[in-house]
C-alpha cells in the first residue's frame, strides 16, 4: 500500500495521526531551516514540512526534490501555524519523517498551474502534462459525472443502453465517412458511423422500446472551429411516442443534469419557439435567450423615404441596445466594421441614438423626420438612453447578420454570462430545404423525418411550407441536441423519397435494409441526439469543446501528442490490398 | 400518447380500468365467436379479446390481423376466466373496444419465439427480427444492467470514466490494426485501438489516479470461434497501487456484479492459484474450477516397466473420473477418439477401472501389477467405482491434452452447470515467453509489465524463470480479464527492452511518446481489463459471445444484415488518395 490517505482529505481532526501520502511535487519553498513542499494528487494539495530537526539524510534528500517529482512520504499530521483558508487541507501540514522518491521528473515544458505559460501547441503535444492542470482535470471530472447522471436518469426511465457497431457500411452519400479496408474481404471497406441513426431505428423495429447510447461518432470533414473528427453523442430513441412525449422525456434529462451536476433548478417548463419565430425574432435557429434584444422589423415604417438602402431592401430590421446611446463615433465605427467583416457580410449599419434627454440622433436623419424615427423606437420599445442598430437587405441574409450583431452586443454588454443558463426548444422546423443549384428539395433533417401531421395535405401543393416533426434543444445559443419523430408508414416514406427526387431503385440502394426492416412491423418512433462534448463544454462554461476531451485532435485532424495519422508500412498496405496514390489526388 | 400502459404491467387490481396498449401481435386464436390476440412489447404479453358482442366493424378489423402487426387497442381490463399462471399478466385480459392498425407486417422468415425455427444465417440477416425474441432481448437487457452496475461500482470507488481516442496511431507491430486513411492528411492513416493501453498509462502520468472505460476495441485478425473484429472491454487503471490493491478492487467489482445482477453472494475471497500450479493441476492458465479432477502426476510411479509409451515420456498424468468405472468399451473408445482429434492431438489414452468390488482393470494391465496400479489410484484419491484416464508425452503438450480431456469429462458428468459460478485469480504468470523460432524472449503480457519484485535479481541469470506481477481473473474456465502492475522506473524499463532484444532506437520508435511521458514523473500504477462481451455471456449462461452483442459479425467479419464491408466509389477512393490493388495481394 502506497498511501494511507490522499492529498485532499486530511483535516485538523487528523492531527497527531501518522500518515503516508504519495503524489507530485507542486512547489518547494525553503524558509530558514525548513523546507515546505506542496504535494499534489487528483484530490488536492497537502503541505509537507521538512524540519531542520529531522535527520540529516532526510534533509539532504529533500534538497534534491524538483517540480513534478513523484514521492511517497510518511509523517505526523500537525496543525499549521500559518493556515491557508483557500484549500480544504489548509489547516494542517505533515511533519515528514520518511521520504521515498518514486520517480524523478525533468522540468516540464510549461507550468502545471490553472493559468499556465504553455501555448496551445505545446499543451497539445504534452497533453499528459496539460491534463495535470486542475481546471482541465475538473472538465473531465465534470464529463464523467454528467455521463454517469445521464445514464442514471435514462436507466430510471427504462432506457436500455445498446452498443451499435462501429464497423458499418459506407453509404453512397458517405463523402464524409471514414472508411476502413477489410483484410479478410479484399477490396471491401467498412465505414465508421456518422451516427447510429439506422441502428437505433432498427432497434425500435426490434421492439427495444427505449434505447440510448453514449457513443463515439465520426465525420471526415474539414474541421472548422470547434469540430472534431471523432465526437460523442447521447443517442436516444423511443417507440410509441409523439413529439410531446419526446420533449417531456429529454427536458427531464436536461433538468436532471443541471440539478445533479450543477445544483441548478429549472422550475418552469422550457420555453418553446417555432423555427419561424426564432428566425424572425433572433435570425437564428439557435437563439441565445440569455438576453432579449429581439429583432424589430421596420420595413413598413421606412417605406418611401427615398433612401435607397432601405427602399430597395425587402427587409429592414433592428435591435435595441439598452443604455448604449452614449456610444462614441469610434464605437459605432467598430460595430460597422464588425458587420462588414466577410464572416458577417453586411454592406453597412445604420443607427439611432435615443438620447437620455429624449432627443434623437441618427445616421439616417436626413431621410427621416424625428417623428418617423420615433415610431421605430416605439416599436422597439426603446427607452431614452438606448441605441438602435439597423440593417437592411435580403431577408434571410440580413437576419443572420443582425443575429451576429445581436450576439456581439450581448457580449459587449455582459449579457452572455457563462454561469447563466437559458434553455429553449425550437420546434416546427421546415421539412424541406430548397437547393437553387440542383433545383430540388433536400431533407432538412434526414429523409425519415415525419411531416407535421397538420401539414400532410400540403406535401404536394405547398412542399416548401411543410413543417417537420423535428425539434432542437438550444442552450445559450448552442444547439445542444435535436431529433424528430420518424416516418413509420411505408406509403408516406415512399412519398418522401419521391419528393426528394429519389427513384424507387435509388431509395432501395441507399436505404434498403432499413426499408426492408420496416416491412415487418415498425412501430411509431422518434428520438433525438445530444452532442455530449458540447453539453459538457456548456456546463463547464467553456466556448470550445477541446478542453472537455481528454485527447483532442487539432484543426487538421492530427493528434499532436501521438503524432497521428502517420504513414504505414508497405507490407501492411499489401495485406490490406490497397495502395497509396498521391498523384491521383485532385 | 400511444398507450396508457405497457403489455407487461396490468394486474387483477387494474380490472375495470379502460386502458390503451400498443405492441406487436404475437399470436391469434379464434375460439367460437371470440378472437384472442397475444399483444407483445418489451415488457410482456397481454391477452386481448375481440368478442362477438363487439360491433361488426371491430370484428372485421380483427379478422385481418396477422403475426407481427403493430397495433394500438383500447379496452377494459377484465379478469380472465382461464388464468395463465406462467405470465405476470396472466390473470387479466383486455376486452377491446377499439383497434388501430399502426403498421402491417409481412410474414416473418422465422418464428419470433424463444425456440425459433430460424437458422443462424437467417437470424443474422434478419437480426432486427431475431432481436424480438425474448431470450435475445434478455441478453441485451442483462448487458445494459451489467454495464450500469459496473459504472456504479467504479464511480463509488472514485474511478473516472475517460474516453480515449478511437482514431490513433498504427504501431509498427500493428499487423492486427484496422487502419483508416485520412483525407486531410493524404497518404497517412489512423489506426483503431486494439486496447487503450498506452492512453490509460498516460492518464496515470496525468494524475487521474483511477481511470476506467467501457470501450470498443478492434482487432483485424482471423476470427476463430467466438472472436469479433470489434469487441468491448472494461478497461481500468489505478495509481499508487500494488498487486494486492488491484486484486481487492476488482474482486470487489466482480462480486458486486454477481450480487446486484444475479443476486449471488460470494462470501469467501476468491481463491488464488499461481500460474505454475494452474498448469500443473489443470494444464491450463484458465482452469474451470467448478469441479475437481485435478491432475495426478504418475511419472515416478510408472518408471521402469518397459512400457515405452510411459517410459519414453517426460510426463505421465491422469485424472480420476468419479463413478465412471462402468464406462463401456465403446465409451472409452469415444474418449480415445476425442483425445486423438487434431484439435487435441494426443497419440492415445490409457485407462484404469477401479471396479466397485475393488478389483482393477486397465488398458496397461500387462505392464504393471495391480499393486503398482493401486499406488496410482491412491495418489489420485480414487474410490472404488472410479475411472482413471492417463496420458503420457511431452510435459506442456500432454498437460494441455489432459486439460481438454478433463473438460470433456466434466461436461459428460454434468459438472459444468452454467448456473454455477467459480471465480479464481491466476497469479505469478511468467514474465517472458521463449520463442524457439526467433531464438528470443517475448513479453508474455506486454513490455510494460513489471517483474515480481522478488525475481528482479534473476532477470539476467534466470530470465525464463522470472515471474511477472500479472494476474488473470478466471470464471468457469474463461479468462474474464487480466492485467498487471506496470513498470514505472525507466531504468528497469530499459532493462526490459534490452532483454526483449529491442535496441534503444527501436524502443524509442515503438513506444516513444509513452517513454517521453514517463520522464515527467510517472507514478507506480497497474490495472486490468475485462472482456465485457465474455463477462455478459458467462452471466447469461451462454457459450458464445455472439448473442450478447446486438449486431454481431460472422466469422468472416461480415455484418450479414447491412452487408458490410462493401466496395466503395472510386471517387471516394480518390479523395482518400488510395487505390484498391487486388493483384498485389500475396
The verdict on a CB contact (< 8 Å) between A129 and B192 is: no
C-alpha A368/C-alpha A459 separation (Å) is 45
Closest to A577 (Cβ–Cβ): which among B165, B569, B582?
B582
**Chain A 372-411, residues with CB within 8 Å of chain B CB atoms:** none
Distance from CA of A317 to the nearest CA of B (A): 41
Q: How does pLDDT run across B281-333, given as a tens digit for each residue?
A: 999 999 999 999 999 999 999 998 999 999 999 999 999 999 999 999 999 99
Instruction: B579-582: list long-range contacts, CB under 8 Å, 24+ apart.
Output: B579/A578, B579/A579, B579/A581, B579/A584, B580/A186, B580/A187, B580/A577, B580/A578, B580/A579, B581/A577, B581/A578, B581/A579, B582/A186, B582/A187, B582/A577
Same domain, B92 and B182: no
Contact flag A103-B488 (C-beta cutoff 8 Å): yes
Per-residue pLDDT of B212-242, as tens digits, reads: 999 999 998 876 768 899 999 999 999 999 9
Residues of A in contact with B223 (CB under 8 A): 184
CATH classification of the domain holding B531? 3.30.930.10
Cα of B423 to nearest chain A Cα, Å: 25
pLDDT of residue B332: 97
In A, residues 144-163, which contact B (CB 8 Å cutoff)? 144, 147-148, 151, 155, 160-163
| Chain B positions in Cβ-Cβ contact with residue A170 (cut-off 8 Å) | 564, 566, 568, 572
Is A569 in Cβ contact with B42 (below 8 Å)?
no
Give the model confidence (pLDDT) of B250-269 as tens digits. 999 999 999 999 999 999 99
Give the orientation angle of helix B504-517 with respect to helix B490-499, to 10 degrees: 150
Q: Is A255 on the interface with B (CB under 8 A)?
A: no
Per-residue pLDDT band for B32 (boundaries 50, 70, 90) equals confident
Whether residue B448 sits in one domain with residue B361? no
Task: Indicate the helix (H) or strand (E) that contains B19.
Answer: strand B18-31
Q: Which domain holds residue B95?
A: 12-103
Domain boundary among B103, B124, B158: B103
User: Do A540 and A434 reside in the same domain of the chain?
Assistant: yes
Residue B181: list chain A partners with CB under 8 A: 179
In angstroms, what separates the C-alpha of B430 from chain A's closest C-alpha? 23
In this prediction, residue B172 has a pLDDT band, given cuts at 50, 70 and 90, of: low
ipTM above 0.90, yes or no: yes
CB contact under 8 A, A155 and B148: yes
Residues of B whose CB is below 8 A from A556: 184-185
d(CA B476, CA B287): 7
Q: Which helix (H) or strand (E) holds B80?
A: none
Question: CA-CA distance, B574 to B576, in Å (whole number)?
Answer: 5
Q: Tell me, yes or no, whether B6 lies in a domain.
A: no
Confidence of residue B453 (pLDDT cuts 50, 70, 90): very high
What three-state secondary structure class fits A111?
Answer: coil
Q: How far apart are CA B50 and CA B485, in angstroms?
A: 66
Q: Give the residue ranges of DSSP H helices in B64-208.
A: 120-125, 127-130, 134-156, 197-205
More confident position, B575 or A86? A86
Looking at the DSSP bridge assignments, the partners of residue B103 are B70
Looking at residue B174, what is its pLDDT? 56
Best residue in B2, B166, B197, B564 to probe A by mutation, most A CBs within 10 Å? B564
pLDDT of residue B586: 45
Cβ of B522 within 8 Å of Cβ of A70? The answer is yes
Q: Tell me, rounded to whole angstroms, the distance of Cα B276 from its chain centroid.
A: 24
Would residue B124 count as lying in a domain? Answer: no
Is residue A564 a contact partner of residue B193, using CB atoms and an 8 Å limit?
A: no
Domain limit, last residue, from B368, B397, B416: B416
Distance from the B255 Cα atom to the nearest Cα atom in chain A, whole angstroms:
21
Please list every residue in chain B whose beta carbon sits closer than 8 Å to the beta carbon of residue A567.
Answer: 187-189
**pLDDT-flagged residues of chain A (< 70):** 54, 172-175, 223, 225, 583-586
Sequential DSSP letters for B475-513: ETTEEEEEEEEBP--HHHHHHHHHHTT--HHHHHHHHHH
Contact present, B62 and B37 (Cβ < 8 Å): yes
Whether A299 and A250 map to the same domain: the answer is: no
Residues 513-552 of chain B whose Cβ lies under 8 A from any Cβ of chain A: 513, 517-524, 549-551
- State the pLDDT at residue A585: 47
Contact B147 A168 (CB under 8 A): no
**Cell digits of residue A305:** 423615404
Residue contacts between A and B (CB atoms, under 8 Å): 369
Give me the pLDDT at residue B173, please.
Answer: 62
Spell out which residues of chain B touch residue A160, defining contact as CB-CB under 8 Å. 140-141, 144
Residue B43 lies in a domain: yes
B214 and B148 in a single domain? The answer is: yes
**Number of compact structural domains in chain B:** 3
Give the CA diameter of chain A: 94
Q: Are B159 and B221 part of one and the same domain?
A: yes
A277-to-A286, A423, B1 alpha-carbon distances in Å: 11, 16, 27
Show Cβ contacts of residue B465 under 8 Å, excluding neighbours closer than 6 positions.
Answer: B430, B455, B458
| B558: Cα within 13 Å, side-chain hemisphere | 14
Q: Does A115 touch chain B (CB under 8 A)?
A: no
Whichever domain contains B19, its CATH number is 2.40.50.140
Cell of B491: 531504468
Q: Are residues B543 and B428 in the same domain?
A: yes
Is residue B467 included in any domain, yes or no?
A: yes
Question: DSSP 3-state assignment of B189?
Answer: strand
Cell numbers at A478, concatenated: 448552442
Where does A8-106 have alpha helices with state H? 56-63
- In sequence order, which residues have a C-beta less than 8 Å from that of residue B584 and are 6 or more positions away? A574, A577, A579
Provide, as residue numbers in chain B, all residues whose Cβ is less than 8 Å from the Cβ of A549.
163
A315 and A365: one domain?
A: yes
Q: Is B122 part of a structural domain of the chain?
A: no
What CATH number is associated with residue A397? 3.30.1360.30
User: Per the omega criterion (within 30 degrees of 0), is the bond before A565 cis?
Assistant: yes
Cβ–Cβ gap B179/A70 under 8 Å:
no
Task: Among A395, A416, A437, identify where a domain stops.
Answer: A416
Of A160, A564, A578, the CB nearest to B141: A160
Q: Is B188's CB within 8 Å of A489's CB?
A: no
**Calpha distance A577→A558 (Å, rounded):** 25
DSSP string, B205-226: HTT--EEEEEEEEE--S---TT
Does residue A575 belong to the interface with chain B, where contact is any CB pair within 8 Å?
Answer: yes
Peptide bond into B565 cis (omega under 30): yes
User: Considering only residues 55 to 94 of chain A, which have any Cβ-Cβ distance to chain B shorter than 8 Å?
Assistant: 68-70, 72
Is position A566 within any domain?
no
CB A136 within 8 A of CB A544: no
Q: Are residues A484 and A524 in the same domain?
A: yes
CA nearest neighbour of A100 among B158, B200, B489: B489
pLDDT at B46: 98
- Residue A26, helix vs strand vs coil: strand
Contact B178 A180 (CB under 8 A): yes
Interchain pair A207, B40: CB under 8 A: yes
pLDDT score recorded for residue A586: 45
CA–CA gap between residue B91 and residue B85 (Å, rounded): 7
Residue of B118, B190, B215 best to disrupt the A interface, most CBs of A under 10 A? B190
A206 with B549: Cβ contact below 8 A: no
B585 contacts A520? CB cut-off 8 A: no
Cβ–Cβ gap B578/A577 under 8 Å: no
Chain B residues with beta carbon closer than 8 angstroms to that of A2: 240-242, 524
Whether residue A494 is contained in a domain is answered as yes
Mean pLDDT estimate for chain B: 94
Grid cell of A281 as nine digits: 425574432
Residue A569 lies in a domain: no
Q: What is the pLDDT of residues B483-524, one digit of tens each?
A: 999 999 888 988 998 898 888 888 887 788 888 999 999 999
Owner of C-alpha cell 443607427: A351
Residue of chain A minimizing CA distance to B160: A144
From chain A, the residues in CB contact with B143 under 8 A are 162-163
Same domain? For A296 and A396 the reply is yes
Examine the domain organization and report whether A334 and A376 are in the same domain: yes
Are A411 and A434 contained in the same domain?
no
Closest CA to B484 of B435, B524, B519, B439: B524
Inter-chain touch A163–B205, beta carbons under 8 Å: no
Amino acid at each position: 500500500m502506497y498511501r494511507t490517505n490522499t492529498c485532499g482529505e486530511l483535516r485538523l481532526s487528523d492531527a497527531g495521526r501518522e500518515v503516508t501520502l504519495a503524489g507530485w511535487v507542486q512547489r518547494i519553498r525553503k524558509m530558514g531551516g525548513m523546507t515546505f513542499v506542496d504535494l499534489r494528487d487528483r484530490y488536492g494539495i497537502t503541505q509537507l514540512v521538512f524540519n531542520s530537526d529531522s535527520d540529516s539524510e532526510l534533509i539532504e534528500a529533500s534538497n534534491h526534490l524538483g517540480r513534478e517529482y513523484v514521492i511517497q512520504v510518511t509523517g505526523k499530521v500537525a496543525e499549521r501555524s500559518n493556515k491557508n483558508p483557500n484549500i480544504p487541507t489548509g489547516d494542517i501540514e505533515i511533519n515528514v519523517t520518511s521520504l521515498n522518491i518514486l520517480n524523478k521528473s525533468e522540468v516540464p515544458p510549461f507550468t502545471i498551474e490553472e493559468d499556465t505559460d504553455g501555448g496551445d501547441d505545446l499543451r497539445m503535444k504534452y497533453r499528459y502534462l496539460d491534463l495535470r492542470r486542475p481546471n482541465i482535470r475538473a472538465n473531465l471530472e465534470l464529463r464523467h459525472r454528467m455521463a454517469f447522471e445521464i445514464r442514471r436518469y435514462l436507466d430510471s426511465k427504462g432506457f436500455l443502453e445498446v452498443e451499435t457497431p462501429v464497423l458499418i457500411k459506407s453509404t453512397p452519400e458517405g463523402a464524409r465517412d471514414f472508411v476502413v479496408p477489410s483484410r479478410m474481404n479484399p477490396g471491401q471497406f467498412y465505414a465508421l458511423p456518422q451516427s447510429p441513426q439506422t441502428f437505433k431505428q432498427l432497434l425500435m423495429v426490434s421492439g427495444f422500446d427505449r434505447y440510448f447510447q453514449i457513443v463515439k461518432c465520426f465525420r471526415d470533414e474539414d474541421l472548422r472551429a470547434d469540430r472534431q473528427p471523432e465526437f460523442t453523442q447521447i443517442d436516444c430513441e423511443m417507440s410509441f411516442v409523439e413529439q410531446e412525449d419526446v420533449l417531456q422525456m429529454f427536458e427531464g434529462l436536461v433538468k436532471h443534469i443541471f440539478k445533479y451536476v450543477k445544483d441548478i433548478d429549472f422550475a418552469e417548463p422550457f420555453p418553446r419557439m417555432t423555427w419561424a419565430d426564432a428566425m424572425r425574432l433572433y435570425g437564428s435557429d439557435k437563439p441565445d435567450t440569455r438576453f432579449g434584444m429581439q429583432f424589430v422589423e421596420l420595413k413598413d415604417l421606412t417605406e418611401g423615404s427615398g433612401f435607397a438602402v432601405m427602399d430597395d431592401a425587402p427587409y429592414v430590421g433592428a435591435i435595441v441596445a439598452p443604455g448604449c446611446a452614449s456610444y462614441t463615433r469610434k464605437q459605432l465605427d467598430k460595430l460597422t466594421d464588425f458587420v462588414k467583416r466577410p464572416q458577417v457580410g453586411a454592406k453597412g449599419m445604420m443607427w439611432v441614438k435615443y438620447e437620455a434627454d429624449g432627443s434623437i440622433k441618427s445616421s439616417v436623419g436626413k431621410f427621416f423626420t424625428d417623428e418617423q424615427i420615433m415610431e421605430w423606437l416605439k416599436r422597439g420599445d426603446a427607452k431614452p438612453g438606448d441605441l438602435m442598430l439597423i440593417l437592411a437587405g435580403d431577408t434571410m441574409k440580413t437576419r443572420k447578420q443582425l443575429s451576429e450583431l445581436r450576439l456581439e452586443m450581448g457580449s459587449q454588454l455582459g449579457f452572455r454570462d457563462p454561469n447563466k443558463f437559458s434553455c429553449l426548444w425550437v420546434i416546427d422546423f421546415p421539412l424541406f430545404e430548397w437547393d437553387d443549384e440542383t433545383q430540388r428539395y433536400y431533407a432538412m433533417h434526414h429523409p425519415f423525418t415525419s411531416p407535421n401531421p397538420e401539414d400532410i395535405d400540403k406535401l404536394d401543393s405547398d412542399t416548401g411550407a411543410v413543417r417537420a416533426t423535428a425539434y432542437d434543444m438550444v442552450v445559450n445559443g448552442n444547439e445542444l441536441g435535436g431529433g424528430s419523430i420518424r416516418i413509420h408508414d411505408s406509403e408516406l416514406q415512399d412519398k418522401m423519397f419521391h419528393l426528394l427526387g429519389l427513384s424507387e431503385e435509388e431509395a432501395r440502394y441507399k436505404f434498403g435494409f432499413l426499408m426492408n426492416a420496416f416491412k415487418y412491423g415498425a412501430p411509431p418512433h422518434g428520438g433525438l441526439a445530444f452532442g455530449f462534448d458540447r453539453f459538457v463544454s456548456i456546463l463547464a462554461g467553456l466556448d470550445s469543446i477541446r478542453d472537455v476531451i481528454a485527447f483532442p485532435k487539432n484543426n487538421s485532424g492530427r493528434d499532436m501528442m501521438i503524432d497521428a495519422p502517420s504513414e504505414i508500412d508497405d507490407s501492411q498496405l499489401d495485406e490490406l490490398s490497397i495502395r497509396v496514390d498521391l498523384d491521383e489526388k485532385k
